[in-house]
Amino acid sequence: MTGPAAPAATPSVAAREITKRFGPLVANDRVSVAAYPGQILAIVGENGAGKSTLMNVLSGLLQPDGGEILRDGRPIRFHSPRDAIRAGIGMVHQHFMLIPVFTVAENVVLGTEPVSSGLFDKRRAREVVRRLSDQYGLKLNPDDRVQNLPVGLQQRVEILKILYRQSEILIFDEPTAVLTPQETEELFVVLRDLAKKGKTIIFITHKLKEVMAISDQVTVLRLGKVVANLTTAETNPVEITRHMIGRDVMPSVEKQTVGGADTVLEVRDLHCQSDRGVEALRGVSFHVDAGEILGIAGVEGNGQSELVEALTGLRSVVSGEILLRDRKGKRRALVHRTPKQIRRMGVSFIPEDRRERGLILTYSVADNLIFGVEDTAPFSRRGVLDPGRIMANARKLIPEFDIRPPRPDAPVGTLSGGNQQKVVLAREFSENPSLLIASQPTRGLDVGAAEFVHKGLIEKREQGVAILLVSAELDEVMALADRIAVIYEGQVMGVFRAGSVDEGRLGLLMTGGEARAEEIAIDLTAPALEATEGG
C-alpha cells in the first residue's frame, strides 16, 4: 500500500481505519482515506469493493463498527445523515431525491425552508437559490419545475441542495451514470469550479476515463480494503485497473470475422409512439446479419427504448415492418406479436434494467433462470412445474456463467449487480437465440463484469447469432460492433462500418450536431436496405 501522496495540509475529511461489517461480510476493512480542500478525490473500485459503504459511513447513513471519521483533523461521530450535513458533508446520490412537481427553489430549500412570520418565504427561497446558482455557475432557474428539467440539470438541483446546506465536502456517487457525454463534460466544469472555490470533492466511479479527466487523487478499493492511494498525474488507467481487479485486463476483445451471413433482422420504416404519445421512432430502418453485432449508438432518450420494446413486442407499432428469419430460416413478421411469441421465434432479450425487467428479485436464482420459459418442457408439464429439472438447469448454468454465490436457491435480489446480470445472460443465452437484443448490457457493472458480458456477446456472435447492441456507452459500441447505427430523435442518422468512423463524428451525429446527410449513411458493403430512406 502506498502512503497518501497529498499536500501537507489537514484533510477536510478523513476516514481512519474504518471497519464496517454486514454479518460475515466485511464491507470495509480498516479503510483510511483523506480528502483535502480544493481537491477532487476519486474513489474507485469494482461493485462490492466497499465504495458505497464507505460513502454511507462518511455521510452518516451507516455507523462504522470500528475506526473514526476526522473532520478538519478532529474526530466526529455521526448518528444520522443529519449530523453529517451539520458537519458540512453532503452527498449527491445516484438516484435523485427530488420532488418532480416542485420548483427548483422549493426542492432546494425543502426541509430547511426560509420562514417569515410563520409562513414559507418563497421569495427569499428564490433569491437564495438564484444567488447560489450564480455563484457556482450552475445556471438553474429557481422557478423551473424539476419534472421539466433534463437529468443533467436535475443533478445540479441536488448539488444546489447540499450547497444550500453549507456543505464543504461534496460526495458524488457515480454521478455520470445517468448523464450524456455532454452533460458529463458540463458536470466536470462545475466540479472543477467547486474545487477551485475551496470545496472538497469526493467522486465515486468505476470509469477510469473520468478518474483521469477530473481527479487530483485516486484511492482504489478492492474487496473492502484500500489497495492504493495514487496521484492522478503520476498514474495511468492500466495501473489503476491492475489495483482495482488485481490483474491486468485483457486487451480489447478479439473478434473474428464471420462472413457470408444472412440477414436475420430487418426493420423497415418503423414508426412508434412513446408513452406520452409523442412520435418516438420516425421511420427507422436497418438490418442485422447473422454473426454480426450492430451497435445502436445514441444519447439516451432518442428512441432506443422504444425501438427495443417494439422489437420485443412490448410496444405497439404504428407503421413499418419488422422481419425476422427464425431458426428454421423462415421469414416472419414480428409486428403485432406478443412478447412470448417473439421469444418462441428465437429472439432473446437482455433488458436495460435488469432489476426492473430482467429479474424477479424475490425469486431464487433457479426460478429466474427459467423466467420466460417456465411454461415449456422440460421445466413444466401440463402447467405443473418440475422442481428437479429447474434445479438441474440451475446447477448446469451457475458454474458455466460463474454466478456467485453458487447457490440455486439464493434469492436473486441478494446477488450483486454483476451476478444478477450473469443470471440474465445465462438465461437468455441458453435459449439458443437467432437474434439477441442487448440493451445497455453493462450498465452499472464494473470492469470485470462488463468484460464478462462483452466476451459472452462476442462468443454468441461467433456462433452466428445476430446481435443488436443498444448502448449509451460509445466506447462499448465502438469496441464491439461490426457496424454502428447512430440514432438521434427517433431517426437513424447513419450506419457505419466500425473503424470507418471516429468518436468525434459519432458524437456529433448523436447530438444532432451534424445533419443527417444522404451520403454519409450509405454503406456500400451492406447487403440490404439501409437507413438512408424513411423518416
Partner 1 sequence: MIDTTQATSPSPPAALPEAGRSPWYTALGQLGVPLMAILLALIIGGIVMGVALKSFTAPLTGYWDLLVGAFGTPYDVEETLVASIPLIFAAFAVAFAFRGGLFNIGAEGQLYAGAMAATAVGITFTWPGWVLLPACVLAATLAGALWAAVPGLLKAYRGAHEVITTMMLNYVALNLMHYMLINSITGTPGPLEGPLAGNPVSRGVNATFPVIVPGWLVANARLNAAFLLALVCGVIFWFILFRTTLGYAIRATGFNIKAARYAGINVNRTILLTMLISGAFAGLAGVSYVCGVGGQLQDTFDNFTFGFDAIAVALLGKNSAIGAILAAILFGALDHGGINMQATAGIDTHIISIIQGLIIFFVGAEALVRFLSHRGYSVMRFRTARPEADVPAERAAV
Binding of residue 339 to partner 1 (CB under 8 A): yes
Binding of residue 338 to partner 1 (CB under 8 A): yes
Kindly tell me which residue out of 229, 235, 312, 440 binds partner 1, with binding defined by CB under 8 A.
312
Kindly tell me which residue out of 122, 389, 407, 505 binds partner 1, with binding defined by CB under 8 A.
407
Kindly tell me which residue out of 359, 366, 423, 521 binds partner 1, with binding defined by CB under 8 A.
359
Q: How far is the CB of 58 from partner 1 (least distance, A)?
A: 11
CA–CA separation, 196 and 192 (whole Å)? 6
Q: Which residue number, 178 or 296, has a Cβ lying nearer to partner 1? A: 178
| Straight-line distance from the first to the last Cα atom of the chain, in angstroms, rounded to the nearest whole number | 58
Residue that is written with C-alpha cell 460492433 in the block? 481
Cell numbers describing residue 290: 447473422
Residue that is written with C-alpha cell 437559490 in the block? 129
The rounded Cα 293 to chain-centroid distance in angstroms is 20
Q: Taking CB under 8 A as the criterion, which residues in 172-191 touch partner 1? A: 173
Q: Taking CB under 8 A as the criterion, which residues in 408-437 touch partner 1? A: 410-411, 413-419
CA–CA separation, 250 and 228 (whole Å)? 21
Considering only the stretches 52-60, 110-118, 149-157, 478-486, report the one whose residues sit in contact with partner 1 under the rule CB under 8 A: 52-60
Q: In which element (H, E) is residue 70 found?
A: strand 66-71
- Looking at residue 234, the DSSP 8-state letter turns out to be G
Q: Which residue number, 7 or 405, has a Cβ lying nearer to partner 1? A: 405
Binding of residue 55 to partner 1 (CB under 8 A): yes
Binding-residue total with partner 1 (CB under 8 A)? 76
Residue that is written with C-alpha cell 478532529 in the block? 74
Considering only the stretches 120-128, 185-193, 352-360, 482-490, report the one whose residues sit in contact with partner 1 under the rule CB under 8 A: 352-360
Binding of residue 328 to partner 1 (CB under 8 A): no
CA–CA separation, 433 and 425 (whole Å)? 12
> How big is the CA angle at 48 (ends 44 and 53), to the nearest 5 degrees?
80
Binding of residue 22 to partner 1 (CB under 8 A): yes
Q: Which residue number, 220 or 299, has a Cβ lying nearer to partner 1? A: 220
What is the amino acid identity at position 392?
A
Binding mask 434-463 for partner 1 (x = CB under 8 A): -----------xx-xx-xx-----------
Kindly tell me which residue out of 70, 151, 213, 223 binds partner 1, with binding defined by CB under 8 A.
223
Binding of residue 3 to partner 1 (CB under 8 A): no
Kindly tell me which residue out of 19, 141, 380, 511 binds partner 1, with binding defined by CB under 8 A.
380
User: How would you classify residue 73: left for phi > 0, otherwise alpha for psi between -120 and 50, otherwise beta?
Assistant: left
What is the amino acid identity at position 307?
L
CA–CA separation, 516 and 3 (whole Å)? 53
Binding of residue 375 to partner 1 (CB under 8 A): yes
Instruction: Decide: residue 200, CB within 10 A, 0-12 exposed, 13-18 middle, 19+ buried.
Output: buried
Binding of residue 234 to partner 1 (CB under 8 A): no
